[in-house]
């Protein structure tokens, strides 16, 4: 067939961006001057240098304990940099340092497991682990994080989605699969422990009981729980379930204020993943400064003082917001203030920003239709005055938008 130079098989990205804009889904990069409880922001500069404006209070960060700017963590990162700013290679080649091993020992001790393995990100840990395990069937909570969903896709397994936080529905779906003839299959139950958009917690003990009844493995993602619950370990440690959860996974980039992800489990699991998980094998090792910083942050988190302050702020915010008439979901440090309409959520977020508060609007498809919200996440380093400033802003901004 003759070549036809008029055929265009390229990608109309401008059109795709316009469509996102029309659906109020267009996102922009707004650089921050620092990673702190209060900082300056710049409008998206595209390829230019940012121009920062006035300082605003940040209530949209996962830096829950405020350790990203802690001097002890900074000094630890400097010590890590003494061996190199980057690992220089895959951990399996020459990128394995004492900082990696020390962090993994501390993580394993905190998680009450035989070993831990550090990945370049929590996302890499999820997709690499699920794909490496290669289960025949994955039972996944309907609100699991995107990295779990992508891990299921990469694994090529049949994925059965069960109702959010519903052990009875999980049991029914497992029973149906068993009746269909799944005797020789490997089954994996995967769930977040703390869900990032609703701030609720998986009923982990009940899920383990269901999985045990069918001989399935349980894998949990403690991304939003590590450092905050259970002496720093997460929900697994709070509930005393380390001996019933086969794969404990999390991130170093939230409460631990660094970068990277981890998997903790028995010796065979970690040794297998270090040989088979492609996102570990074929990726440069975590930067030594990040590993050293995460280790120090974990040590501080386990002391408990920062965590206690965080929970005081959470309670003050929840009580204050609910007293105004807002619906606040969840039971964790993530406070979803449900607005309903996506346009109202965007308007409320903008009015808050005008009052010096950064709190992000979350709307469909990230959350279901009719449940658009402002996701409020305080830091332990906020002062009592700053917490009250946030509450005052929600009251006046809600009135301005017509929500109160």
Residue 362 has phi, psi (to 5 degrees) of -115, 125
Tell me how far apart the alpha carbons of residues 178 and 172 are, in angstroms, rounded to a whole number.
10
Question: What is the residue-level pLDDT of the chain in tens, covering all 404 positions?
Answer: 567 778 888 999 999 999 999 888 888 888 999 999 999 988 988 889 999 988 999 999 999 999 999 999 999 999 999 999 999 999 999 999 999 999 999 999 999 999 999 999 999 999 999 999 999 999 999 999 999 999 999 999 999 999 999 999 999 999 999 998 877 899 999 999 999 999 999 999 999 999 999 999 999 999 999 999 999 999 999 999 999 999 999 999 999 999 999 999 999 999 999 999 999 999 999 999 999 999 999 999 999 999 999 999 999 999 999 999 999 999 999 999 999 999 999 999 999 999 999 999 999 998 999 999 999 999 999 999 999 999 999 999 999 999 99
298 vs 34, 101, 179, 229, 305, CA distance in Å?
A: 21, 14, 45, 12, 12
Which sequence spans correspond to the domains of the chain?
71-302, 304-401
Per-residue model confidence (pLDDT) at position 109: 98
Which helix (H) or strand (E) is 374 found in, with range?
strand 372-376
Per-residue model confidence (pLDDT) at position 26: 86
Cβ atoms of 202 and 235 within 8 Å: the answer is: yes
- 392, 393, 394, 395: CA torsion to nearest 10: 50
Per-residue model confidence (pLDDT) at position 8: 85
Per-residue model confidence (pLDDT) at position 314: 98
CATH topology of domain 304-401: 3.90.1150
Under CATH, which number does the domain 71-302 receive? Answer: 3.40.640.10
In 53-169 the beta strands, taken as DSSP E runs, fall at 55-58, 115-119, 137-141, 158-162
3-state DSSP assignment of residue 326 = coil
Per-residue model confidence (pLDDT) at position 333: 98
Tell me how far apart the alpha carbons of residues 135 and 117 are, in angstroms, rounded to a whole number.
20
| Common-topology check for domains 71-302 and 304-401 | no
Per-residue model confidence (pLDDT) at position 23: 85
Would you say the C-alpha torsion 152, 154, 155, 157 has a positive or negative sign? positive
Tell me how far apart the alpha carbons of residues 37 and 65 are, in angstroms, rounded to a whole number.
10
pTM score, two decimals? 0.94
Q: Which residues are catalytic?
A: 196, 224, 254
Per-residue model confidence (pLDDT) at position 25: 84
């Amino acid at each position: 067939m003759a070549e036809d130079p008029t055929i265009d098989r390229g990608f109309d990205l401008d059109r795709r961006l316009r469509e996102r804009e029309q659906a109020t889904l267009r996102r922009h990069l707004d650089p921050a001057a620092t990673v702190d409880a209060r900082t300056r922001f710049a409008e998206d500069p595209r390829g230019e240098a940012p121009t920062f404006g006035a300082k605003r209070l940040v209530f949209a960060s996962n830096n829950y304990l405020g350790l990203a700017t802690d001097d002890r963590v900074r000094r630890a990162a400097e010590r890590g940099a003494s061996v190199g700013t980057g690992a220089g290679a895959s951990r399996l080649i020459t990128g394995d340092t004492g900082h990696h091993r020390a962090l993994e020992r501390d993580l394993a001790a905190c998680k009450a497991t035989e070993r831990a393995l550090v990945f370049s990100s929590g996302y890499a840990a999820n997709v690499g682990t699920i794909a490496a395990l290669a289960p025949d069937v994955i039972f996944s909570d309907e609100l699991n994080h995107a990295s779990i969903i992508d891990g299921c896709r990469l694994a090529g397994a049949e994925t059965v989605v069960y109702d959010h936080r519903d052990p009875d529905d999980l049991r029914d779906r497992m029973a149906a699969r068993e009746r269909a003839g799944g005797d020789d299959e490997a089954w994996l139950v995967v769930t977040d422990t703390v869900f990032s958009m609703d701030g609720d917690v998986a009923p982990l003990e009940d899920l383990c009981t269901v999985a045990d009844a069918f001989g399935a493995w349980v894998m949990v993602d403690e991304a939003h729980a590590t450092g905050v619950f259970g002496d720093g370990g997460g929900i697994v440690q709070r509930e005393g379930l380390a001996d019933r959860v086969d794969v404990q996974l999390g991130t170093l980039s939230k409460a631990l204020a660094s970068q990277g992800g981890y998997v903790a489990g028995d010796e065979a699991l970690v040794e297998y993943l270090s040989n088979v998980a492609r996102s570990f094998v074929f990726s440069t090792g975590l930067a030594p400064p990040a590993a050293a910083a995460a280790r120090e942050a974990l040590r501080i988190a386990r002391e408990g003082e920062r965590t206690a302050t965080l929970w005081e702020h959470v309670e003050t915010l929840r009580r204050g917001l609910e007293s105004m008439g807002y619906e606040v979901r969840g039971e964790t440090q993530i406070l979803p203030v449900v607005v309903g309409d996506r346009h109202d959520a965007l308007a409320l977020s903008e009015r808050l920003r005008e009052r010096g508060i950064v709190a992000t609007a979350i709307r469909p498809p990230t959350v279901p239709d009719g449940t658009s919200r402002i996701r409020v996440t305080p830091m332990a380093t906020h002062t009592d005055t700053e917490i009250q400033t946030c509450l005052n802003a929600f009251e006046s901004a809600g009135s301005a938008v017509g929500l109160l």
